[in-house]
Structures are given as C-alpha cells and as structure tokens.
Amino acid sequence: MPATATARRPQALAREPDLDAAMLPITIRRQDGQEVHTERSAARHRDIHLGMLHRHTRGYVELAAGKRSAKGKLRIYTRQHPNHFLPGGLTDASWRAPLLELAAEHHDRGDEVFLGMAPRIARRAGKEEVHWTRCLWMDIDLPGHQQQVDDLLARFPAHLEIESAGGASEAPEHRHRHLVWLLDRAVPARTVTDRHGREYLNAREVRQPQGPKGRFKLVGYRDLQTGRVITNARTVEWIERWNMRLIHRLGYTLRDGERVTIADKLCQERARVLRLAGTINGKTGRYARIVRIDLSLAPYSPQALVGGLPDPPRSQPVRKRDLRARKYDAYRLIPTTVYFPLLTGEDLPHLGKIRCPSPTHEDREASCSVSEYVWFCHACQAGGTIYDLASLMKGGPTRDALVASKEWFRTASEHVRETCTHALPSADGSR
C-alpha cells in the first residue's frame, strides 16, 4: 500500500495476509550522520518504535488497544488487563516478539494500538506504577505551527518523530506528531522530601476515604523501602515537570480566543499511552509512521535537555499541597470486607446490597451499599467510614453529626482500636 494512500476501514483489513506489507516512508539518520530516505513495512515501523523506547526498560511495557464508536469516539479497553503489560528489554531477552505479536493481533482485529511511553513496575496502568523513564515526549495536535516545531528541533533535535496520522490532511502543516527525546539514564518519576531534608524516591501516594460517597484525600506518601508514611512532604513530579518545560518552550497559540499550548498538555502525564507507529488511526484510516529517526544523536542528560528551560508561569495561584494538617490514619485503610464483620458480627455478601446495620432502622429490604472502604444506607442516609460504623454500633451518630461530636468520635475511635487493631494494613510502618 503506498504511504500516502488512505487505508480501508480497519474492520475490512482483518486477516488479510499482506496487511503488514504496507510500505511507509521513513528518514533514517545513520550513525555516520548520513541521512537515508527509504521505506519500511508497517511491521518494521512497530519494531523500531518499540526498540527505541523500551530496549532499556526494566519492568513492564504497556500495549493498549481501543475501539472507535460509530460517532468516532475512541475507547481504550485494555488498561485493566494484566496481559497487556509485558516485560521490557532488560527483563526478557526475547521481549519484542510478544509485544509485536500482541500489536499485530489487535491491528488485525481493527483496533487502534497505543504504547506506554514510560515503563511500569507492575501490570497496572495507573501513574503510581510509573517510577522511571528514559525518555521525554510531547504530542503536537494543533495544525499550522511548523515554524515553532522546526525552531524547537533546531535547538533540541529529537531521536524520534512520529506522525500519528490524526491530521485533517497529509500536508506537513496539518500533521499531528509525537516527538521523543531519549535520556542517557533512568530518572525517577517523583521525589519526596520530608521536613528533615531526607529524600525518598517514588514514594507512593496514600489516600484515605472520606465520607460515604467514596471520596479520597491525599494524606501523605509511603516510602516503599521502610513503609513509613511521610505527612509533611515537599514533592516534585519530575516527568510531568520536564515534559511541561518542553511544551512551554514550543510555545502557545490562540484557540477560540484562549491562549493554549501548541502541544497537548494532557500528554505530559507519566502514564500516557501514544499511538504505536505502523498501526492505523481509525479516525482517518491512515497509518501512523516514524517520520524520522536519528541514530547518530546521543541520548541527552536531563540537565542538558531541560535543565536550562523555565517552568511555565501559572495562570492562577495554585494552592500548595501542604500535608502537615493531614492526619494519616491506618485504620481508615482497613477495607470494609475486614472491618464490617469485626464490628457488626455479620459477613458481607459477595454481591449486592446488605441490610442496614443501624439498630434503629428496620430495613425490610437490603438498602445499604458497601464499597472498598465506605458504606452508605440509601434509605436512612447513615454511612461513612470505619468510625461511622463503630459509632453506629455503640448507638451514636454517623457522618457530619459524628464529626461534630468529640465525645462520640472518641468513643468510636476507642471501639475501632479495641476491635480492629490486629487488622491494620501489614504494609504500615508507622505503628
């Protein structure tokens, strides 16, 4: 298939033997500095893309797949599937084959295929599973800013330039593209510094449930080595910060009368997945491809790439995340499946609602919902956390009335400690 041709709908391409024979143009700057304009198959574009990003990965590579609705809305449906997180280059010598096979499988189904930019430490998609990166990136999806892109690349040449095939046309000024800069070492996603100046790498967020509606608030960070929860912390999210410096350096434009970045700010996030080269963009029916790869360019040190770039100015004052007033409480992290039977003497059913535990509520039909940490009765409005249930079992109030009563909250806390101390999360190092 010619590189400039528009592919047929992905559903019509399934199981065709010559699917990956599509030849896509690519510019390769070899190690001797010579540039070669040639073509490579779609399958080879995938192989190159994977190798450049993840040959140094010690951990898991996310390969995500999505389907587009009749209205054109894309839904990525694999992010909760552990089998879509496969070992990277430093974990398995034959690491590329399973990833390429999985990509081809989804491609043949007519799915759209995406690649995690940073490795995961576990087979999950959340940002807390991203601890390191060896690249920075940006997604440019606003047309008509070729000069700004050229200026950025003149100062900071990219190792990979990928056309995501999402533009309205194939003209250079309308192409959507991804730029990737490789780093000479793995850099951490987060540093947390406590009030004594001790620094912790990639400490995980600790969020506690608040209220009956399943809301959570950040109360600290858990050091993965000691289990200690740091509640008076200063944090830096390095991947997002450095990606945002590059986005800020590229510049801004006006869109619908508002000043916006030329590159997509949402794509700065560490757990981001971007389109895999050599696969079809379902919106346009065109192949994403590697436009240019530079094999002569050495990886950057983070200082050389972004150390001299300023952080973008804040358009509005941002409230600092001050955790000194946040009280970490391990009892709130005991799941309902554990504390509910301990406090009420009744086991929770596997599915469905339960009868309200309130002694004053004659619940003829089960009307109480239970989630991971909180519970709520839809009939009498009782509900909350472990302390609300303890108060209720002692004949006291729940929710706002419990918070307003120091005496009842003290009674509930004592009951929780007496009943549930042995059920504290084992990872907690603060007790």
pLDDT tens track for 282-300: 989 999 999 999 999 999 9
Angle CA(151)–CA(157)–CA(160) in degrees, nearest 5?
120
Contacts with 341 (C-beta within 8 Å, 6 or more apart), sequence order: 347, 348
Adjacent-strand bridge partners of 160: 180, 293
pLDDT tens readout for residues 363-386: 778 888 888 888 888 888 888 889
Coil, helix or strand for 377?
A: strand
pLDDT tens readout for residues 407-421: 998 999 999 999 999
pLDDT at 258: 87
pLDDT at 158: 98
CA-wise closest residue to 163 among 319, 330, 290 = 290
pLDDT tens readout for residues 33-72: 999 999 999 999 999 999 999 999 999 999 999 999 988 8
CA distance 162 to 291: 5
Coil, helix or strand for 223?
A: coil
CA distances in angstroms from 194 to 8, 49, 76, 171, 208, listed in the order given: 56, 39, 38, 51, 20
pLDDT at 90: 93
Q: In the predicted model, what is the mean pLDDT of residues 205-233?
A: 81
**Helix (H) or strand (E) run with residue 335 in it:** none
Confidence at 427, pLDDT banded by 50, 70, 90: very low
pLDDT higher than 80, residue 21: no
% of the chain at pLDDT higher than 90 = 59
Confidence at 349, pLDDT banded by 50, 70, 90: confident
pLDDT higher than 90, residue 237: yes
pLDDT at 247: 97
pLDDT higher than 60, residue 312: yes
pLDDT higher than 60, residue 135: yes
Contacts with 398 (C-beta within 8 Å, 6 or more apart), sequence order: 382, 383, 384, 388, 389, 391, 392
| Range scoring the smallest mean pLDDT among 7-21, 194-208, 246-260, 317-331 | 7-21
Identify whether the C-beta of residue 288 lies closer than 8 Å to the C-beta of residue 277: yes
CA distance 354 to 116: 40
State pTM to two decimals: 0.78
CA distance 403 to 306: 47
Q: How does DSSP assign 224-260, residue by residue?
A: TTT-PEE-SEEEEEHHHHHHHHHHHHH-EEEETTEEE
